[in-house]
């Protein structure tokens, strides 16, 4: 008989937690997972998956408008928000069921209630039941940050935005990170008047400046308004039920919905980590070593709760590595360099490697290659939006340090380019590759 109820107890059934549970069970471990909300976590339930489906739905506004230039007759198209909303939510249910089946098929026991840490090898369920485990993995993710201001209770976050009863005519979005810019694009395409307010004068600060500037130009031309250096001070309910947003020193902004998208914080409040002697970081994150182990030898943490890199594929890799290390005899680390990322704005941005500014700081002399072009798809359309691709190259070694793109389908193209950056290929390798014509991707190998 084992001295513990389980070999591994996972708190949180998101992408990282489910992967760790499945892999550990496949190695022969007895595994349980507790989830207080829905299996699937942020990405599946209230993040990248439903958001990307909304992006797809909003793209039809342009597609239907452009169809006439390509010879199609589309009579009186109209949009119905409840249809898109409910279709997206049904697909979320489908994926949640698939995640649940994955746990069941791997004989992972799951508890649909909150669990907290009661000691180095003990978890306490909301029901009061205590269970023991040789190892505990914390994978509870992060939670939207809601700034403190009068009327904040009248606002929503990215958690609630998928459940809006009706499509608002006027939307104010606070923040200028990827969540803010993606929802700004969605609402703008669906016909809402969108105002983005931000405490600084920079959007998407981690991305290359040229891509940020191009996105700002295009979205302003599409009708999105910006008020920089203007954090929300107050939101008030009007007699007609609408909202009035006081931001910075500007005139108040009338709105029907106010979306707060000012970042996410590790969801560690009340988790009981102090019961295992684990001190949190300044942002509430769980400090871990390169193997995702905390200061307590029996407790590990992966994903957004560690605040290392808040990306679903990273949480999955971390969870997989922990399971392999503890139960598969394969102790390994995760590489955090050259991670591809994308913002599904309209148009989207995609990037891998160093920005031009980062490369100059680290390498000194760099060479920059750009292609500024009008995508073929836009030629028949009335839009004069231009794509922009950039290669950042180390002048000394010719190695490509970064690839940055804005334009249609950039994330789909960037994934292949990320392999090249990760492999350390040179600009000469790009030049020696035959172009695939006609395509937007060919611009990557035609820059001289």
Domains in the chain, number = 3
CATH number for position 441:
3.30.390.30
Q: What is the pLDDT of residue 378?
A: 84
Residues 133 and 273 in one domain: yes
Residues 138 and 283 in one domain: yes
Q: Band the pLDDT of 266: cuts 50, 70, 90.
A: very high
Q: What is the pLDDT of residue 261?
A: 97
Residues 323 and 372 in one domain: no
57 within some domain: yes
Q: What is the pLDDT of residue 229?
A: 96
Q: Region 142-161: what's the mean pLDDT?
A: 96
Q: What is the pLDDT of residue 2?
A: 73
Our CA angle for 352, 221, 210, nearest 5°, is 30
Which of 327, 357, 379 is the C-terminal boundary of a domain?
327
Element (H, E) at 320: helix 312-327
Cα separation, 347 vs 378, in Å, equals 12
Catalytic, out of 27, 320, 404, 437: 437
Residues 248 and 357 in one domain: no
Q: What is the pLDDT of residue 343?
A: 97
| Contact predicate 114/269, CB 8 Å | no
Q: Band the pLDDT of 380: cuts 50, 70, 90.
A: confident
Known catalytic residue: 437? yes
Binding residues: 52, 175-182, 263, 304
Q: Band the pLDDT of 76: cuts 50, 70, 90.
A: confident
Residues 284 and 218 in one domain: no
Residues 269 and 258 in one domain: no
| Contact predicate 364/394, CB 8 Å | no
97 within some domain: yes
Q: Sheet of 232-237: strands edge to edge?
A: 232-237, 243-247, 253-255
Residues 323 and 349 in one domain: no
Q: What is the pLDDT of residue 386?
A: 95
Residues 191 and 134 in one domain: no
Residues 291 and 370 in one domain: no
Q: What is the pLDDT of residue 69?
A: 87
Our CA angle for 21, 27, 32, nearest 5°, is 30
Residues 137 and 278 in one domain: yes
| Contact predicate 378/70, CB 8 Å | no
Binding residues for NAD(+): 175-182, 263
Cα separation, 104 vs 98, in Å, equals 10
Average pLDDT of the chain?
95
Q: Residues 6 or more apart from 23 whose CB is under 8 A from it?
A: 319, 320, 323, 324, 327, 328
Q: Residues 6 or more apart from 42 whose CB is under 8 A from it?
A: 14, 48, 141, 142, 304
Q: Band the pLDDT of 192: cuts 50, 70, 90.
A: very high
Q: Which DSSP string corresponds to 106-132? A: TT-EEE-S-EEEEETTEEEETTS-EEE
Q: What is the pLDDT of residue 142?
A: 95
438 within some domain: yes
Q: What is the pLDDT of residue 24?
A: 98
336 within some domain: no
Looking up tokens 């790009």 gives 430
In this predicted structure, the answer to whether residue 163 has a pLDDT above a threshold of 90 is yes
Residues of the chain above pLDDT 70, percent? 100
332 within some domain: no
Q: How far is CA 76 from the centre of its chain?
A: 35
Residues 22 and 124 in one domain: yes
Which of 327, 361, 381 is the C-terminal boundary of a domain?
327
Q: What is the pLDDT of residue 374?
A: 92
Q: What is the pLDDT of residue 128?
A: 96
| More reliable by pLDDT, 110 or 384 | 110
Residues 118 and 203 in one domain: no
Residues of the chain above pLDDT 90, percent? 92
Q: Region 417-431: what's the mean pLDDT?
A: 97
CATH number for position 246:
3.50.50.60
333 within some domain: no
Full residue range of the structural domain in which residue 173 is found: 152-262
236 within some domain: yes
Q: What is the pLDDT of residue 417?
A: 96
Q: Band the pLDDT of 399: cuts 50, 70, 90.
A: very high
Q: What is the pLDDT of residue 307?
A: 84
Which of 262, 283, 303 is the C-terminal boundary of a domain?
262
295 within some domain: yes
């Amino acid at each position: 008989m084992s001295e513990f109820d389980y070999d591994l107890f996972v708190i949180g059934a998101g992408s990282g937690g489910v992967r760790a549970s499945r892999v550990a069970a496949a190695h022969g471990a007895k595994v349980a997972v507790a989830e207080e909300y829905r299996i699937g976590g942020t990405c599946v339930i209230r993040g990248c998956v439903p958001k990307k489906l909304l992006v797809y739905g909003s793209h039809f506004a342009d597609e239907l408008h452009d169809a006439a230039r390509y010879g199609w007759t589309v009579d009186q198209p109209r949009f119905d928000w409840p249809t898109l909303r409910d279709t997206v939510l049904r697909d979320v249910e489908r994926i949640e069921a698939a995640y649940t089946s994955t746990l069941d098929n791997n004989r992972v026991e799951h508890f649909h209630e909150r669990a907290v840490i009661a000691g180095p090898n003990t978890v306490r369920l909301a029901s009061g039941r205590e269970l023991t485990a040789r190892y505990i993995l914390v994978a509870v993710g992060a939670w939207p940050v809601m700034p403190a201001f009068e009327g904040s209770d009248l606002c929503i976050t990215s958690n609630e935005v998928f459940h809006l009863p009706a499509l608002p005519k006027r939307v104010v979005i606070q923040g200028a990170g990827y969540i803010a810019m993606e929802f700004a694009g969605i609402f703008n395409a669906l016909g809402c008047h969108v105002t983005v307010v931000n405490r600084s004068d920079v959007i998407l600060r981690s991305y290359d400046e040229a891509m940020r500037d191009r996105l700002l130009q295009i979205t302003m031309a599409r009708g999105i308004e910006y008020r920089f250096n203007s954090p929300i001070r107050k939101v008030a309910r009007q007699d007609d039920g609408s909202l009035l947003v006081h931001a910075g020193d500007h005139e108040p902004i009338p709105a029907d919905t106010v979306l707060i998208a000012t970042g996410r914080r590790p969801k560690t409040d009340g988790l009981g980590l102090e019961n295992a002697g684990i001190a949190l970081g300044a942002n509430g994150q769980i400090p871990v070593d390169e193997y995702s182990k905390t200061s307590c030898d029996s407790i590990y943490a992966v994903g957004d709760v560690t605040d290392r890199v808040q990306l679903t594929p990273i949480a999955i890799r971390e969870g997989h590595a922990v399971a392999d290390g503890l139960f598969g005899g394969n102790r390994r680390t995760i590489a955090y360099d050259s991670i591809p990322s994308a913002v599904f704005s309209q148009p989207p941005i995609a990037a891998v490697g160093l920005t031009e500014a980062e490369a100059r700081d680290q390498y000194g002399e760099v060479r920059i290659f750009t292609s500024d072009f009008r995508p073929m798809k836009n030629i028949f359309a009335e839009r004069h939006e231009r794509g922009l691709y950039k290669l950042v190259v180390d002048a000394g070694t010719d190695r490509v340090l970064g690839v940055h793109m804005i334009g249609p389908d950039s994330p789909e193209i960037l994934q292949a380019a990320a392999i090249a950056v990760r492999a350390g290929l040179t600009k000469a390798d790009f030049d020696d590759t035959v172009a695939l014509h006609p395509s937007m991707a060919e611009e990557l190998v035609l820059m001289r």
